[in-house]
Structures are given as C-alpha cells and as structure tokens.
A and B are shown apart, each in its own frame.
Chain A
Amino acid sequence: MTRDAGFDDFLDAVEAGDPYYLVDDDGGAHLPPMPHDPVTGEAGLTERPVPEPGEILTHTTTQIAAPQFEDDTPYVTAVASFGPVNITGQLRDIPPENAEIGQAVTLGVDRSETRDERVLVFYPV
C-alpha cells in the first residue's frame, strides 16, 4: 500500500512508542498531516508527545463494513481522548459487548484481517 505522508509517519511513531501531535502558537492541538494552523494559516507547528493513557469517548460495533474491512467484522471503532487531541481507532483485546465509554486505553498499530493493512488501534489498560 502506498504510504500516506503524515498519517503513516504518525503510525510509525506509534509503533516506535513516540506518538506525537502538533501544536500551534495559540496552543491549539492538531493531528498530522497538518501543514499549518488551520485557523490562522500560520506555519511553524511543533511536535509534542501524545499523553497516554487515553479515554474512550464513544464507540460502535460495526457489523456491515466496507470491502477493506469485510473480514474484520464485528469490530469496535472508537474515538478516544488523549489530552488535547481525540483519535479514532479500533478497540482490540476486548469483546465488543464489553466496550465502555470511559475505558482507559493506549495507542497501538495492528494489521487488518481483510487486507493485512496497518490500523490504528486502542488497547485497554
């Protein structure tokens, strides 16, 4: 699979144990790829480490998937808060019925069952 600049760099960083977000001059937090402050257009965003663990804000168990995840169903997709940034990923190592809002999670990278492609995931703490 062709790499997506910025996003795959983020996955590399998660795999290396150093996930990061970007912060602008006003303290606004953004996820890569973000070339500049999306509000002001100012360049010069700086990297900061993503604080872990995060906390699940919401989740859903998907039964009907797009072709690239057809063999992965059912799977849990969640949005989790990691300090100043929220991140979307799949929840691993827990039965879907046990997924809970408020669950503490860490970031990881796994492979999809269907196409063996990298997926951003959450592991329960």
Chain B
Amino acid sequence: MTDVRVAGVGMTPFGRHTERTGRDLFAEATARAFTDAGVERGAVEEVFFGNFMGEFAETQGHQGPLAAEVAGVQAPATRLDSACASSGAAVRYGVERIRAGADVVLVGGAERMNNLSTAGTTEALAAAADALWEIRAGLTFPGAYALMANRYFERFGGDREDLAHISVKNHANAVENDLAQYQRTLTVEEVLNATSISSPFGLYDCSPISDGASAAVLVSESFVTAHDLDAPVRITGTGQGSDTFALQDRESMVRTPAAERAGEAAFAEAGIGPGDVDVAEVHDCFTVAEVLALEALGFYNPGEAIGAANRGETTIDGRLPVNLSGGLKAKGHPVGATGCAQISELTKLLRGDHVNSDAVPDAEVGVTHNAGGTVASCVVHVLEVDR
C-alpha cells in the first residue's frame, strides 16, 4: 500500500468573517495549500470537499464543483457531509483515492456560520441530530453533549472544574496561533462563571461559531520523487466509524464506539498503538468531547481522562500534548472545515513550522480525531514525519 504524503496545507484564519462567502474562504485556503505544496493546480485528479450547513447558511447545495472551481481546479469534485466530520471524511476519501492510484488529490472544507443568528446556527447544527427523537424534543448540540457530560459525571465522577481545565488548556495553546479565533487565555473561574448554555456547559465549554476554510494537497510517493517535493509528513493510517444516529439508542452514553472503531482501524493501518503517539488534535467541540475522544482512542481507560488536563498530562508540557492548535474550542470550529484543519495544524506541528512546534520537537507520530454529531460519525488519521 503506497504511503500518502501531505504536500501542502492551508487555512484561512478561523473567526468571524460574516460577509465572506464559503467559496471565498475556500479559495483562500486552497491558494495557501498550493503555495505550500509547490504543486501545480493542473496536476489535481480529484477534489473532495467537506461542508455541512451550506443550505442553511448560504442556500447553497451541490458544492463539490463549486469548490473545485474556486480552487482553480478542473477535476471530478464531490462534497461530503458527515456533519462536523465532513472534511475529515474528505481527507479519508483523498487518502483512499491516492492509494487507488491517483497521484494528486485536493481535499478540504469550508463553512460560513456567522451570517446566521445564534438561534439560526443552533438550528442548523441541530440538523446533525435525529430530527424526530431529538430535535422535536428541543435537543440542541450543546444539549446533546451536556447529556453525555452529566451521564459521565454520574458514571465516573468528575465535575465542571475538570472540564474547565480543558478549556483553559486549549485557550492557552491558541494564544500565539494567528489562525485561531480566540488568542486569549481563560481562567478556570471565567469558565465556571460564564453564561449557562445547557447545563453543565457554560459558554466557555462550547466551541465558538466560526467561519473558515481548510485545504490540503495529498500526493503519492512516486509524485513526490518525480517532482522532488519536500513533503516529510505521511498519512499512514485512516479509519472511520459509525454508530446509532440518536444518542438514546446507544448502549452507553459515555462511550463513543464510532471513535473506538475509527481509531483501531487507523492505528492498525499505521502499525502503531496509542502509546506510540506523541501529539494529538482531537474534536473538542465541547469540553467533555475531548475526554471522550482521549478514552476512545485508548490514551486513557474509560472514566480516567476527565482529569487529564487538570493533572497536566495533556497540556503543552504534558506527556501527551492535546490540541496544541487551540483545538476547536479556541482555534474555532467552522464545522465543515474542522477535520482538514486538524490535518493542516498537525502537519505543521510535525514539520516544525507551527508556532507550537517547539513544544514537540521530537514528535514523530500524531493523530487527528474528527467527530460528527454525537460521534455517530468519526474519522481518525495517523500522521508520521520523516526524521
């Protein structure tokens, strides 16, 4: 099986870009990615593009060919919707396409959210939940993860302060990241005293409403050799899992089997285990989501990741730094762009050109975890760098 190389990555700054369209944002991200890659647009053989709420926010469906057009690429193009895991899925499809024989594939995603009201965005995001059993009961996405958090507290213990340390950690990681939506620190007290959104979550337990785009140019080993590219990061494992759509139908509301399956598959392909991972970017759409991700990927046993940030194990100087980009929490979460943004940030962390690379100078293996819905979908990738 051929290795897949990340030739180049690009992102817009994530944040509040109310008047910028999704197509404008993706054009910028892809321009950055092509410049980073040193690959001509004409070499691209296929495009996979993640977007979730284009119909809500921009009355724009059928975005695959639109994404290719604004990227300046003439190639078959497909939009993937896997909720917040949409561009993680796009990356996975790109990896599989390279393995199937293509030499160059463009992947990425974009989302415009801030042109909607908060209530409108809440409605759009809720569309990732079960329209009958969850939305008609008034369940929002913060509400869905809040149900998981309260069940977790009941089952394993932990409290809001443990979750607050995750938010504090990820905000601290984002301070020097110019691509992050929030480059400012938070204190535990600020998190605990923030406006309640859906108990136990306050405002700072939740990732923000964000606009942004991300892109990556994936290439085959033979293309790297033929064109003498500098592309030291390889995607050595990809995995995807699904679960029951509605949270109520899960055997457990404190486990995420889709992520467990995705992680196991990605680790198996890469020939590694959780203990080999040096750095991770995981889907912290809400603070408890980081806890569930770390347990699903096998970094912790069930019930043991709740205090990881508080204990300093996942902080920038911890044994496994998590979300050095700032995560969804501080970097931002334009949902369709998030999965590929994780690839972008982790690629730079491993290459050594990320603002936080100095925290992991010897890192060789990184993992991304990108979840959709209440982890009814999950995509995991393993990235390794030539040293």
Which residues from chain A sit less than 8 Å from chain B, CB to CB? 4, 6-7, 30-31, 33, 57-70, 72, 75, 77-79, 85-90, 96, 101, 112, 117, 119-120
**Which B109-138 residues sit within 8 Å CB-CB of chain A?**
118-120, 122-123, 126, 131-138
Bound CA–CA A81/B200 (angstroms): 21
| Given contacts A72-B138, A77-B143, A87-B248, A58 and B154 within 8 Å (CB-CB) | yes
> Which among B120, B131, B146, B199 has the greatest number of chain A C-beta atoms within 10 A?
B199
| A57-B131 Cα distance, complex, nearest whole Å | 21
What 0/1 pattern do residues 125 to 161 of B give for CB contact below 8 A with A? 0100001111111111011001110110010000000
Interface bin, chain B: 35 or more
What would be 23 A-B contacts, judged by CB atoms less than 8 Å apart? Answer: A31-B248, A57-B151, A58-B148, A59-B150, A61-B198, A61-B199, A62-B138, A62-B142, A64-B197, A65-B138, A66-B123, A66-B126, A66-B138, A67-B119, A68-B135, A75-B138, A77-B138, A78-B147, A88-B134, A88-B248, A101-B150, A101-B151, A120-B137
Contact of B123 among A60, A68, A72, A119 (CB under 8 A): A68
Q: Nearest chain B CB to A17's CB is how many angstroms away? A: 20
Interface residues of B, Cβ cutoff 8 Å to A:
118-120, 122-123, 126, 131-140, 142-143, 146-148, 150-151, 154, 195-200, 246-249, 253
Given contacts A64-B142, A64-B198, A72-B138, contact A88 B246 (CB under 8 A): yes
- 4 additional A-B pairs beyond A7-B132, A66-B122, A72-B138, beta carbons within 8 Å, are A31-B133, A62-B139, A62-B197, A90-B137
Contact B199 A7 (CB under 8 A): no
Q: Chain A residues with Cβ under 8 A from B154's Cβ? A: 58, 101
Q: How close is B172's CB to chain A, nearest CB, in angstroms? A: 26
Task: Point out which of B118, B120, B139 has the most chain A C-beta atoms below 10 A from its C-beta.
Answer: B139
Could you say which of A64, A70, A88, A96 contacts B133, with CB atoms under 8 Å apart? A88
> Measured between C-beta atoms, what is the minimum distance from A89 to chain B in Å?
5
Instruction: Let me know if A79 and B138 touch, CB within 8 A.
Output: no
B residues within 8 A CB of A33? 132
Q: Which residues of B contact A119 (CB under 8 A)?
A: 136-138
In the complex, the answer to whether B248 meets A66 with C-beta atoms within 8 Å is no
Residue ID in chain B nearest A6 by CB atoms: B132
**Residues of chain B lying within 8 A (CB to CB) of residue A117:** 136
Closest Cβ neighbor of A29 among chain B residues: B249
Q: Which one of A6, A60, A112 lies within 8 Å of B198 (CB-CB)?
A: A60
Among B119, B136, B195, B247, the residue within 8 A (CB) of A79 is: B247
Contacts A58-B154, A79-B147, A119-B136; A67 near B123 (Cβ below 8 A): yes
Complex: A88 Cα to B135 Cα, angstroms = 10
Lowest 8 A-B CB distances belong to which pairs? A60-B146, A58-B151, A66-B123, A7-B132, A86-B248, A69-B138, A61-B199, A58-B147
CA of A63 to CA of B119 in the docked complex: distance in angstroms? Answer: 11
Please name the residue on chain A nearest to B251 by beta carbon: A86
Closest chain-B Cβ to A42's Cβ sits at a distance in Å of 18
C-alpha spacing A79/B250, complex, angstroms? 11
Give every chain A residue within 8 A of B150 (Cβ-Cβ).
Answer: 58-60, 101
A72 to B140 CA separation, bound complex (whole angstroms): 13
In the complex, A67→B138 CA distance in Å?
A: 10
**Contact assessment for A65 and B134 in the assembled complex, using a CB-CB cutoff below 8 Å:** no
B302 to chain A, nearest CB (A): 16
A90 to chain B, nearest CB (A): 6
Bound together, the chains give a CA A4 to CA B130 distance in angstroms of 13
Q: Which of A65, A87, A101 contacts B140 (CB 8 A)?
A: A65
Determine the chain B residues whose CB is within 8 A of the CB of A88 once the complex forms.
133-134, 137, 139, 246-248
Complex formed: what's the CA distance from A112 to B248 in Å? 21
B336 smallest CB distance to A (angstroms): 19
